[in-house]
Every structure is written in C-alpha cells, then in structure tokens.
Structure 1
Amino acid sequence: MTQLRKEPPKIAILGWGSLIWDRRPEFDGQHGPWQEDGPLLKLEFSRISETRKGALTLVIDPDYGQECTAQYAISTRKGPADAIADLRCREGTIMKRMGYWFADGSHSCQPPVPATIPEWAQDRGIDAVVWTGLPRNFEKKAQPGREAVFSVEAATGYLQNLPAEGKALAAQYIWRAPEFVQTRLRTALAAEPWFPPPAE
C-alpha cells in the first residue's frame, strides 16, 4: 500500500520592527511576503539596544505594551528548527531569547508565549510560530544602579539625553516602524518638535 506523503509543516515568522523594513537578503530569501493579519501582541519601544547606540527598540511587553496586530510571513523551510535558526541568526541573538510555539506541544521556550498566538495559529492551520523573544530592559539599562521604571515620561527623557548619533538612530527606528505599531511612546513622540521623523 502506498503511503501518502506528509506535507511539510506550515511555519509562521512574526514581525513588527526592523525585521519588516530592514531588508536582509540572506534572511528574506527564506520566507514569503509579510502579511498583515497576524496575532494581537502587546508592543512597546522599551528595550535599549546596544547595537543601535542606545536607541529604544520594539519588543513584546506584557506590562507596558499596547495591543497591535503584528505581521507574519510563512517560512520556506521544511522544519521549524531551520526557521528558528534563520531568525536567530538574523537577529544576532541567542537561543534562549527565541520564542516559538508548536501546535503539537512538543517544544517549549523561555520567553513567555503570548496567549493570543495559539488561537491565531490554530485558526490558520499553522503548525509552528517563531518570533524574537527579547525582553524589556529599560529598567536595567537606562540608569544603572538606580530605579528607572518604564513610562512615557521616563523613556522620553532618556531619548532626549542620548548623544546625537543615538538620537538619530532612535528616530529612524521608531518612525520606520510599520503603521500598525501604535504605542503610547510613539504617540507622545509624534508631538515632540525635537524628535522629528528622519528625512527620507
């Protein structure tokens, strides 16, 4: 009796920041186009990036984030492990910062899995979901040794005090974020004359 050939799993990669607008051929060649009906995720610019000279970058932030409909792309890989490796290399991070969800429950990750992901994936027949699970680090990095609870006011003051290069990279990152990313900080910065969108 001839066995039916099992189709490869359907793997979704979630994106909300530079993954979408900062093109990298070696990564972008491994997935399809970005689609706009991803899961609702609580996002905020609450991670201080060393590689971007202290700019604030977007992360899933269950405490301070605003619900945004993320985008997703379908990986061309035949196995979730390869899709995870693609994203990990693209993001220049370590395995314990990778988020992933498997429909069969066979694997678990350190970053908490947002409650919206499983239902969203199951509704679309997706077998595995992969995302970057970097946490908020504003409290630890903004003022080492001192309390620095994240707030719009604290984040705005932090950005104001960045050196010129860091402030330029912060503006570029925040204003190049997709339109679906509407957070409290982004809304507040839109009204600040010292933080204009960068020239095209």
Structure 2
Amino acid sequence: MLLIGRSLMATLRSPTRGDGMTEKKKAPKIAILGWGSLIWDERPEFDKHHEEWLPDGPVLKLEFSRISETRKGALTLVIDSGNGSACVSAYAISTRKNPDDAIADLRCREGTVMRRMGFYFRDGSRTCAPDVPATIAPWAAEKGFDVVVWTGLPGNFKRETGKGFTVPNAISHLQSLEPEGKAMAAEYVWRAPDFVKTELRTALQIEPWFPVPQAPADAEDAG
C-alpha cells in the first residue's frame, strides 16, 4: 500500500502532456548579437550553429574604439557607453539548446575569455562581468528571447595609446599604421553594416587616404 501511495504521488508531481508522456523542459530561445566582422567575416565552424543575421537587434552605443592586435592596429567596433553612437545592432538565433554552448561558440569565434563575454538571462539566473546595456532586457522581452549573448570586449584606445579616444586622435592613430594595418582598418570600417553609423566612421569615409578596399583581408577580430 505504501509503495502504491509513493507511485501515485510521483505521478501527480510529474508534469505530463495530453498523450500521457512526461513533458520535457522547453529549450531556451537564444539570440546572438553582432555589429561588425561577426556578420561579414564568415566562419563555418561558428556560423553552422546559428540562423541568418537579422537587422532589428537592440540599439547599442558602438564605436571603433578598440585597437586590435590581430588586425595590425586597426580600430574595431565595441560597445562603448562613453564614446559610442546609438546604433541598431543585428542578431541571429542560436540553434543551440544549452546557453553555455551558445556562449562557448561565440567565445571561441572571437578568441576571447569568459570574463569578456556578455550575456543576459531573462529569468535573472545568471549575470556576466561586462555591463549589460539597458536596451537589451526590453528588447529580449519584446522578441521573446530567454537568453541574449554578445561580445563584451571593452574599448582600449587610451590604454594602448595614452590618449583619450576622440575622432582626431583615432584618425591620427590610423594614419600612423603600416600599410597592412591601414588596409585592414579600411576593410573593417567599410565592411561594417550600413546600420552602424558612428562619428569616426563618418569622418573616415570622407578621408582621401582611406579608400574603399578592393579585396577582403584575412584576419580575425572581435565584434
């Protein structure tokens, strides 16, 4: 009798579907945010784990304020609350069922460490080291995403150059690069999505020494 009672209680506690089978926990809906080379520099190992990029992601403050070693000193796009311009970002739906896998996909693609990874869990179960832009939570709620993942690399212009980030200082830095670095910088800026409109990009695209690149360079980057 005791055994039957325990069995009945276990049945009552287990959520079931209409067909009598135990209901599985629904996989979270995961979005990956992108705004730079993540979108145009295709990497099959990363790209096979997400759907197409869509242009109506959350508005983020973006600027080309990170000096990239892998791009020979070129300036790359990062979320920059102090120097950035408000830009719409892009997003892609991850095909992963486990958020940890989606985070690892992006971390490996960007060649960075966990403390530089941004993520937002709508249920508040986890937090990340980088600041979470205020626009992400309402956007995730509107789109029905449970988890949002992005690259949280900070700007490093002042640390690397000793000068505060300004458009003139950034242009001066780019002009000082070797030809290969200038070519990579031009490719990165010109190939950024049209929805990325920052003060530096606007200034660079009218500079006669900063022409549209003729052929893509093969390099890695974050963003």
1:140 aligns to 2:159 (yes or no): yes
Q: Of 29, 36, 57, which residue of structure 2 is paired with 1:10?
A: 29
Give, as a single letter, the amino acid of the residue that structure 2 aligns with 1:195: F
Deviation string, structure 1 residues 84-129 (Cα, Å, up to 9, x no partner): 0000000000000000000111111110000000000011110000
- Paired residue secondary structure (2:77): strand
Take 2:25 and 2:114, find their aligned partners in 1: how far apart are those partners?
28
1:84-95 paired onto structure 2 within 5 Å = 84-95=103-114
Residue 136 of structure 1 aligns to a residue whose secondary structure is: coil
SS in 1 for 2:164: coil
1:198 matched to 2:213? The reply is yes
2:79 corresponds to 1:60: yes
Where in structure 2 are the equivalents of 1:115-130 lying within 5 Å? 115-130=134-149
Match of 1:44 among 63, 84, 90: 63
Separation in 2 of the partners of 1:6 and 1:92?
32
AA aligned to 2:94 is S
Q: Partner amino acid for 1:153?
A: P
- 1:170 is aligned, of 166, 169, 185, to 185
Q: Give yes or no for the alignment of 1:24 onto 2:43.
A: yes
SS at match of 1:54: coil
Q: Any idea what SS the aligned residue of 1:72 has?
A: strand
Report what 1:151 is aligned to.
Answer: 166
Alignment-mate amino acid for residue 38 of structure 2 = L
Matches of 2:192 and 2:112, distance apart in 1: 20
Tell me the distance in 1 between the aligned counterparts of 2:87 and 2:29. Answer: 23
Alignment partner of 1:107 is 2:126? yes
1:33 aligned partner, one-letter code: E
Instruction: Tell me by how many angstroms 1:7 deviates.
Output: 2.1
Give secondary structure in 2 for the equivalent of 1:182: coil
SS of residue matched to 1:156:
helix
State the 1:190 CA deviation.
1.1
Q: Which residue of structure 1 lines up, in the alignment, with residue 204 of structure 2?
A: 189
User: TM-score, normalized by length of structure 1?
Assistant: 0.96
Specify the SS of the correspondent of 1:100. strand
What is the Cα deviation at residue 68 of structure 1? 0.6
SS in 2 for 1:42: strand
How far apart are the structure 1 equivalents of 2:37 and 2:175? 22
**Corresponding residue number in structure 1 for 2:52:** 33
Query: In structure 2, what residue type is equivalent to 1:80?
Result: P
**Shift in Å at residue 37 of structure 1?**
0.7
5+ residue gaps, structure 1, are none
State which of 82, 86, 89 in structure 2 corresponds to 1:70: 89
TM-score normalised over the length of structure 2: 0.86
Report how many aligned residue pairs link the two structures: 196
